[in-house]
Amino acid sequence: MTSARHRERHAASDRSTREPPFIKWTLITVALTFAGLFLLLPLLNVFVQAVSKGWVFYWKSIADPDTQSAIRLTLLIAGITVPLNMAFGLVAAWAIAKFDFPGKALLLTFIDLPFSVSPVVTGLMLVLLFGAQGLLGPWLQEHDVKIIFAVPGMVLATLFVTFPFVARELIPIMQAQGTEQEQAAMTLGAGGWRTFWTVTLPSVKWGLLYGVILCNARALGEFGAVSVVSGHITGLTDTLPLRVEKLYHEFDSAAPFAVASLLALLALLTLVLKTLLEWKTHRQHAKGQQRGAEPAALNSEPGSDTAHFIRPSL
């Protein structure tokens, strides 16, 4: 949708600067071939391999108790981390966009840290902190709290890796909106809580949802950091990606692909949702811009500016 509109606009606006058709078609062919060979084909192959031993085998692979437990664990981890990161992201974005405070630039940098640190290093950081030989290890052992090679460690790792998604999505939106709407609500008597729920949150809801979807996709698919802290205990600390790897190493020809196809389906679902949201926000944005740019377009309608300036009698 978006790209179609883009093309139209370009075609209309700078026909004189357009490339000759053969260049256009060559580039399009190259791009499509590349995407087909390296993106689409492998993905399709996953599904083909998954059902290569028939649908019965496919179903059995997924119904396997260990796979079932991996599915449950993956959903559990996502179920914990996504709401938490949604809350953290909102708070961080709010703080950065609406207030000035010392250390703001530092916070902004730290939010990006999980993007720049390799997930494996993230896992190691947690091991060094919470592991038996780690900083807090002895204390944790004393109190019989297990974090590394257990679910809490995997939740922490996922939390860390997926932290930036919501905040990064919200900060520019909140910065662009400024605080005037909130101030307006305050002058009308609304307190902070009411202002947040009725003014701030609704105005960022699509951005928030977008961030949540990306965050969720990463939480479901995270491998590196989780792999380091999980301990790979089958049926206990295997998530879906870890399960896929394990099955693959067991030289099973179809089972890993069957499980992988679940992850691939989730990825496709994420893509669809993401595109829908992008389309929706883009349309809203375009609409807002268009109206803002040509207010005169509405002049013939009731109550418009220039149509009539007769005050109703009071």
Partner 1 sequence: MSIELRHVSKRFGGVEAVSDVSFSMKDGELVALLGPSGCGKTTALRMIAGLEMPTAGDIYIRGQRVNDLSVQKRNVGFVFQAYALFKNMSVFHNIAFGLKVKKWKRGAIEERVSELVMLLDLCGLEKRFPHQLSGGQRQRVALARALAPNPTVLLLDEPFAAVDAKIRQELREWLVHLQYDLKLTALFVTHDQEEAMEIADRIVIFSHGRVEQIGTPREVYESPATEFVARFIGVMNVLDVEVRGGVGRAGELEFPAHGHGEGERFRIGFRPYAVSISSDPSALRYRAVVRHTYFLGVMMRVELELPSGQTIRARVTKEDYARLGLADDREVSFQLREYRLLASEGGLLEPEVAVAREMPPMLGEGI
**Number of C-beta neighbours around residue 83 at 10 A:** 12
144 binds partner 1 (CB under 8 A): no
Q: Of 232, 197, 217, 201, nearest to 273 (Cα)? A: 217
141/290 with CB nearer partner 1: 290
Residues with Cβ within 8 Å of 181's Cβ and at least 6 positions away in sequence, in order, are 199, 200, 203
**Number of C-beta neighbours around residue 179 at 10 A:** 13
**Selected binder of partner 1 within 56, 106, 176, 188 (CB under 8 A):** 188
**Selected binder of partner 1 within 105, 187, 193, 251 (CB under 8 A):** 187
Which tokens hold the place of 207? 């951005």
Q: Which residue has the tokens 């919470």?
A: 130
| In the complex, minimum distance from the CB of residue 286 to partner 1, in angstroms, rounded to a whole number | 10
Sign, Cα dihedral of 293, 298, 304, 309: positive
**Selected binder of partner 1 within 69, 203, 270, 281 (CB under 8 A):** 203
Q: Of 90, 92, 126, nearest to 106 (Cα)? A: 92
102 binds partner 1 (CB under 8 A): no
269/297 with CB nearer partner 1: 297
314 binds partner 1 (CB under 8 A): yes
191 binds partner 1 (CB under 8 A): yes
**Selected binder of partner 1 within 184, 265, 272, 276 (CB under 8 A):** 184
**Selected binder of partner 1 within 186, 236, 266, 267 (CB under 8 A):** 186
**Selected binder of partner 1 within 130, 183, 224, 232 (CB under 8 A):** 183
Q: Which helix (H) or strand (E) holds 132?
A: none
Helices (H), 65-147: 65-98, 104-116, 119-130, 137-142
16 binds partner 1 (CB under 8 A): no
Mask 284-303, x = binds partner 1 (CB under 8 A)?
x--xx--xx--xxxxx-xxx
311 binds partner 1 (CB under 8 A): yes
56/293 with CB nearer partner 1: 293
103/191 with CB nearer partner 1: 191
Give 236's Cβ-side CA count (13 Å radius).
Answer: 11
Q: Are 152 and 136 in contact (CB under 8 A)?
A: no
Binding site for partner 1 (CB under 8 A): 180-181, 183-191, 194, 198-199, 202-203, 205, 284, 287-288, 291-292, 295-299, 301-306, 308-309, 311-312, 314
